[in-house]
């Protein structure tokens, strides 16, 4: 594998002083194949439940209890369990960001740079507690997944849909515009920043070809701008996590240092705090913020030695020669100041937040709700959380479920304002694929009748391959919509007419 000479020059300057052999170990790792990881989607099943089903040999990821290394040369993205959303193929070091942010059910969370959706869906798994929130015992949180690039927006939506995320809205906005429109309304914000992608070199030839010292500088400038906007979206007392998949100090310790040195406007301050334990990760390098390693580049006001009050050692780095991952950087930044909601009773807090939801009381909405309730009674009785957890709204011809603490997205470019339930077409309710994928039919040993009408196929059933190709199936029974499942987990809808099941799997998801 041919790596950029200037990249190697910089890494030698960084690592050789740490240990005479550290740079050699780092360079040698690029002669080995990249690591394949999967993160179990706990919205659908527990890690232990998946281990009982897994067609792959797996080893645990030390810092993620729902993460595993695939230890054989297999393609987990091609298996029917992937189509069913039982796991997400994810680089192991990328699994740490959601653990660092550690949201809880009931909170508002923003993933500012969310595509392709791996970290966003991981955050949703924390917010949308599958064992409790779905039964109304705990409130679901609200996740805003934002992406600026139109070409990546649909991929984000598709992944959140496949994984059964129902507590999220998806927007396409600049960070600055979100900050202007929404203000400090989020308990936790993740900035998985666009970066020079050095941690992707083993997996991506394009990342190696596109890398340059100029790219590193441009990324650092952009990261400065994104963090400034992100800070304006965090409530007092809230948490901001900054992460990258690069080794460049200019984009890591340097970006954090510049952010902390610039803060203080309008009384807003942040401070670094240690993330939860991440086995195999090491602390950041304060000295590197002053000299990003042999070819220091000035950005903005330049890089200076870190003040003693800013402990950049509280940031975290993963090195591929030290732990099973491709490389990552994480910084946890806590906003100072009192939370004006902290002393409120939970009911008062949630009630005040809920009033921000649009109230579209119309004859069209009432008619759409009746059509949905008819479908729900036949096919998905227990599909929704308790009524106290949110409400259904009509947007155009589409019905959505909005969590009770969703923010007002009026005036923003929105792909989905919530969980898309389906559409009203010619006075009929047509269920969405997103509805099918969030109807978890299993929870441990308990079977939940989320769809009274279903066909469950085993992984080796030839009808399963036929369904994934978009073909019709034969099935005796009552006419109407039904859920097609693999091992009890939803794959998509079918529509039975006189013993034939018309395939309703979206064409873009069908396999050749």
Catalytic residues: 245
How far are the Cα atoms of 39, 81, 420 from residue 154, in angstroms, in the given order? 21, 21, 14
305 DSSP 8-state letter: P
Cα 94 to Cα 225: distance, rounded to the nearest angstrom: 22
At 398, list the tokens.
């589409």
Identify the CA nearest to 310 among candidates 328, 330, 287, 338: 287
What one-character-per-residue DSSP string does 457-480 give?
E-TT-HHHHHHHTT--EE--S-SE
- 3-class DSSP state for residue 48? helix
Strand positions, DSSP E, 13-167? 37-40, 58-61, 64-70, 87-89, 108-111, 142-146
Terminal CA-to-CA distance of the chain, rounded, Å? Answer: 32
| Nearest-5° Cα angle at 219, 218 to 225 | 95
Contacts for 331 with CB less than 8 Å, ≥ 6 apart: 241, 242, 243, 252, 256, 272, 284, 314, 315, 316
Cα 166 to Cα 160: distance, rounded to the nearest angstrom: 8
19 φ, ψ (degrees, to nearest 5): -160, 140
* Length in residues, the chain: 512
At 245, list the tokens.
């998949």
Torsion of CA 296, 299, 303, 309, to 10 degrees: -150
94 DSSP 8-state letter: G
406 DSSP 8-state letter: P
Element (H, E) at 164: none
Identify the CA nearest to 156 among candidates 415, 499, 337, 429: 415
Q: Is-contact 303 289, C-beta < 8 A? A: yes
């Amino acid at each position: 594998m041919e790596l950029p000479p200037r990249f190697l020059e910089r890494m030698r300057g960084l690592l050789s002083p740490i240990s005479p052999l550290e740079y050699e170990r780092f360079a040698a790792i690029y002669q080995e194949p990249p690591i394949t990881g999967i993160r179990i989607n706990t919205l659908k099943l527990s890690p232990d439940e998946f281990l009982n089903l897994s067609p792959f040999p797996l080893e645990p990821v030390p810092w993620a209890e729902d993460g595993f290394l695939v230890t054989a040369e297999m393609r987990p993205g091609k298996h029917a369990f992937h189509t069913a959303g039982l796991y997400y193929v994810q680089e192991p070091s990328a699994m740490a960001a959601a653990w660092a942010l550690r949201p809880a059910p009931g909170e508002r969370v923003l993933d500012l740079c969310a595509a392709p959706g791996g970290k966003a869906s991981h955050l949703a798994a924390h917010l949308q507690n599958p064992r409790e929130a779905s039964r109304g015992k705990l409130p679901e949180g609200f996740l805003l997944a934002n992406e600026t690039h139109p070409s990546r927006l649909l991929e984000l939506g598709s992944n959140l849909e496949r994984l059964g995320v129902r507590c999220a809205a998806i927007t396409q906005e600049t960070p600055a515009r979100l900050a202007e429109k929404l203000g400090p309304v989020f308990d936790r914000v993740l900035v998985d920043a666009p970066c020079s992608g050095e941690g992707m070199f083993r997996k991506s030839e394009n990342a190696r070809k596109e890398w340059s010292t100029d790219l590193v500088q441009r990324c650092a400038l952009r990261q400065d701008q994104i963090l400034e906007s992100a800070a304006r979206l965090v409530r007092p007392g809230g948490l901001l996590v900054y992460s990258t998949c690069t080794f460049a100090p200019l984009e890591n310790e340097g970006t954090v240092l510049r952010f902390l040195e610039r803060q203080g406007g309008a009384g807003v301050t942040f401070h670094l705090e240690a993330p939860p334990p991440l086995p195999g990760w090491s602390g950041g390098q304060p000295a590197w913020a002053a000299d990003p390693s042999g070819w220091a580049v000035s950005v903005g006001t330049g890089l200076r030695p870190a003040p003693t009050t800013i402990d950049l050692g509280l940031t975290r780095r993963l090195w591929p020669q030290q732990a099973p991952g491709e490389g990552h950087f994480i910084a946890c930044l806590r906003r100072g100041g009192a939370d004006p909601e902290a002393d409120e009773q939970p009911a008062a807090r949630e009630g005040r937040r809920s009033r921000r939801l649009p109230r579209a009381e119309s004859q069209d909405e009432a008619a759409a709700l009746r059509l949905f309730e008819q479908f729900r009674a036949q096919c998905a009785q227990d599909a929704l959380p308790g009524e106290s957890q949110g409400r259904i709204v009509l947007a155009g011809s589409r019905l959505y479920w909005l969590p009770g603490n969703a923010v007002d997205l009026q005036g923003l470019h929105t792909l989905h304002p919530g969980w898309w339930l389906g559409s009203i077409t010619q006075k009929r309710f047509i269920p969405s694929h997103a509805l099918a994928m969030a109807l978890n039919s299993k929870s441990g040993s308990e079977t939940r009748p989320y769809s009274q009408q279903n066909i469950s196929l085993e992984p080796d059933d030839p009808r399963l391959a036929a369904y994934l190709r978009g073909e019709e199936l034969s099935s005796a029974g009552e006419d109407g919509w039904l859920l097609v499942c693999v091992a009890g987990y939803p794959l998509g809808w079918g529509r039975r007419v006189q013993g034939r099941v018309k395939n309703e799997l979206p064409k873009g998801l069908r396999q050749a």
